[in-house]
Amino acid sequence: MKKAVVYLNQFFGQIGGEDVADHAPEIREEKVGAAMLYDQLLDAEVTHTVICGDNFMGSNTEEAVEIILDFLKDVDFDIFFAGPAFQAGRYGMACGEIGKAVKEEFDVPVISSMNIENPGVEVFKKDIYIFPGGHSAAKMRDDVKKITDFGNKILNGEKLLPAEEEGYYKRGIRHQYFLEDETPAYERAIDMLLKKINGEEFESELPIPELDLVEIAPAIEDLSETTIALVTSGGIVPVDNPDKIQSASATRWGKYDISGMDRLENRDSNNFKTIHAGYDPAAADADPNVVVPVDAMRKYEEEGRIGKLHDYFYSTVGTGTTQKEAARMGKEIAQELQDANVQAVILTST
Amino acid sequence: MVKEIEKAGFTVVQMANLIPVAKTVGANRMVPTISIPYPLGDPSTSKEEQWELRYHRVGVALDALTTEIEEQKVFDVEI
C-alpha cells in the first residue's frame, strides 16, 4: 500500500485556535483531524500528520520548513497533501511554503486546495498542484474529495490531463501534447490568425501571464515638509467599533481622529482595540501601537523628521476580505487622503 | 489597498510580516514586521525593547519613503 503524509495547521490539527497559532511544528505517527478523511478517500494509507501553527510558519518560515523536512527524512511516503486552506491566507501560505519545500526535497507529488482569493494560490500555484476550494471548512469534504481523486490518479499511474481538464490552477508549465484530432500546429495557427483578422474570439495556446504592478511613486524629497497618514488592515478601532467594521470579509472601513494623542491607549482604558478575527487580539488590545504605531510617529514628528502625522488613521480588517473589496476600500481611502492633502502613507498589515 | 493608494499617486510603504504576500499583491516599498498578531512589538519582551524595535522599524519605513527605487524592494531592518 502506498503511503501519504498530510500537513495541517493548529486548528485542523486539533491543537486549538488563534491563541496557539505560534505552535511549533510537530509530527505524529497517526491520523489527526482532517487526515482521517484523507485516509478514507485515498488509495493509500495516511501514516503521519504534520501540524504547525500558522503564525509559527508565517514568522519563522525557514526554521519551520527545516524542522519539518527533518521530521520527514526518515519517513517513507509517496504523496504529500497540505490543507485544504480555504480562504485562510496564512494557512494557504503555510501549505505553499511546506509543499514547495517537500516537493523539492523529496520529489513526491504535492497537492493542496485553496480558495481563489487565498494569496497562497498566486504565490505557489507554479510549485505544487493547487485545486480551487471553498471559502470555509464547510467545504472540507468536497475539497478533500477533489484533491484525493487527483492524488489517486497519480498514485495509480493514470494519464494526467492539462490543468484546465484536471481542474487545478494553471502552473504555467508547458508539456508536449498531441491533440486527439491531430490538427497540426500550422493549421491551428492559420485558424487563429484568420479569427484575429476577422475580429473573432480566439484562444492563444501560449498565454502570457499578466503582471499587475503599479507604477512606483517617486521618493519623498523632504519628509520634514510631509504629512504622513497611517492606514491598517489590522482592524484597530475605537472600542465601540462605531463603523461596525466586520471582523472578517470586511466591506467597511473607518477613519479615527488621533489629533492630540501621543499614542493609542488600549482596550482596558476604553480606547482602542482590534476587531480582526484572523489573529490573536491579546497583544493588539493591550497595546494598539504594535499595529498602528502612533507613538513612534509622534516621536518622529516631535524630532522634526516628519512634517506631520495626519490627524486620522484609517482602518479595516484584512482577513477573508476579497481583492475586489480591498481595492474599492483602498480607492475610497486614497480619495480621502487626497482631499486631506496627505503626501505619504505607511500601511501596516497583520 | 496598498496598490490603490499608490495608483492614486501617494508614496506608500507597506509594513508586513508576510512579505511574499505583499510582493505578490504588488506593494513596491516593503518593510518586514516581526509577527502577525504583534507586528511592531513582542509582548514577551520589555516595554523598552518593544519601543526600540517599533521606533527603529517605523524609521526604516520613513527611509523607504525617501528612497527612489526601480523595482519592488524590501528594506533591511536591524532589530
Instruction: Reply yes or no on whether the pLDDT at B25 is more than 90.
Output: no
Among the listed residues B3, B73, B13, B15, the one whose alpha carbon sits nearest the alpha carbon of residue A220:
B13
Cβ–Cβ gap A21/B36 under 8 Å: yes
Rounded Cα distance between A120 and A321, Å, is: 14
**What's the rounded mean pLDDT across residues A287-293?**
98
**Which pLDDT belongs to residue A204?**
82
Q: Which of residues 28-67 of B touch A (CB under 8 A)?
A: 28, 33-41, 43, 50-51, 54-55, 58-59, 61-62, 65-67
On whether residue B44 sits in a domain, the answer given is yes
Are the beta carbons of A47 and A23 closer than 8 angstroms? no
Tell me how crowded residue A241 is: count the other CB atoms within 10 A of its CB: 17
Q: Are A283 and B6 within 8 A, CB to CB?
A: no
Q: pLDDT above 90 covers what percent of chain A?
A: 86
Answer yes or no: is pLDDT of A179 > 90: no
**Residue B25 Cα distances to A96, A122, A211, angstroms:** 16, 9, 10
Which tops the pLDDT comparison, A164 or A212? A164
Residues in chain B: 79
- Contacting residues of B for A225, CB less than 8 Å apart: none
List % helix, strand, coil for chain B (3-state, nearest 5).
Answer: 40, 15, 45
Separation in Å, CA A143 to CA A11, A37, A64, A83, A335: 17, 11, 26, 9, 40
* Residue B39 falls inside a structural domain: yes
Total tally of structural domains belonging to chain B = 1
% of chain A at pLDDT higher than 70: 98
pLDDT tens digits, one per residue of A23-76: 999 999 999 999 999 999 999 999 999 999 999 999 999 999 999 999 999 999
From the list A283, A293, A331, which residue is nearest B4 (CB)?
Answer: A331
Q: Which domains does chain A have, with CATH numbers?
A: 2-166 (3.40.50.2300), 223-348 (no CATH)
pLDDT score of A222 more than 80 = yes
All residues at 6 or more sequence positions from A68 whose CB lies less than 8 Å from its CB, including other chains: A7, A25, A27, A50, A52, A98, A101, A102
Predicted local confidence at residue A138, as pLDDT:
94
Interchain proximity B41–A290, CB inside 8 Å: yes
- All three cell numbers of A316, joined, read 479595516
Portion 196-235 of A in contact with B at CB < 8 A: 212-221, 223, 226, 228, 231, 233-234
CA dihedral of residues A140, A146, A151, A153 (deg, nearest 10): 160
Evaluate if residue A14 carries a pLDDT over 80. yes
Query: Closest to B20 (Cβ–Cβ): which among A59, A93, A318?
Result: A93
pLDDT single digits (tens) A84-99: 999 999 999 999 999 9
User: What's the mean pLDDT in A290-319?
Assistant: 97
- Mean pLDDT of all residues in A231-248: 97
CA proximity to B62, closest of A63, A254, A220, A247: A220
Residue A350 to residue B6, Cβ atoms within 8 A = no
DSSP string, A97-144: HHHHHHHHHH---EEEEE-TT-HHHHHHTTTSEEEE--SSGGGHHHHH
Backbone angles phi, psi at A111, to 5 degrees: -130, 140
In this prediction, residue A208 has a pLDDT band, given cuts at 50, 70 and 90, of: low
Look at residue A323 in the predicted model and tell me its pLDDT.
Answer: 82
The mean pLDDT of A6-12, rounded to a whole number, is: 97
pLDDT interval class at A127 (50, 70, 90) = very high
Number of Cβ within 10 Å of residue A272's Cβ equals: 27
Distances, alpha carbon A205 to alpha carbons A130, A189, B11, in Å: 21, 9, 39
| Pairwise CB contact (< 8 Å): B5 & A291 | no
How confident is residue A322, by pLDDT bands cut at 50, 70 and 90? confident
Classify residue B19: in a domain, yes or no: yes
Predicted confidence band at A199 (pLDDT cuts at 50, 70, 90)? very high
For A174, A180, A191, A267, the CA distances from A177, given in Å and listed in that order, are 9, 9, 19, 61
Domain that holds residue B38: 2-74
ipTM of this predicted complex?
Answer: 0.98
Cα pseudo-dihedral A62, A65, A67, A70, rounded to 10: -130
Within-domain flag for B52: yes
Average pLDDT over residues A176-195: 87
Which among A59, A215, A218 has the least Cβ separation from residue B34? A59
Residue A307 has pLDDT above 80, yes or no: yes
Task: Quickly state the pLDDT bin for A209 (edges 50, 70, 90).
Answer: low
Q: Give the separation between CA A74 and CA A95, rounded to whole angstroms.
A: 21
pLDDT at A211 over 70: no
> Given the DSSP bridges, would you call strands A79-86 and A2-9 parallel, antiparallel or unpaired?
parallel
pLDDT of residue A235: 97
Any domain includes B79: no
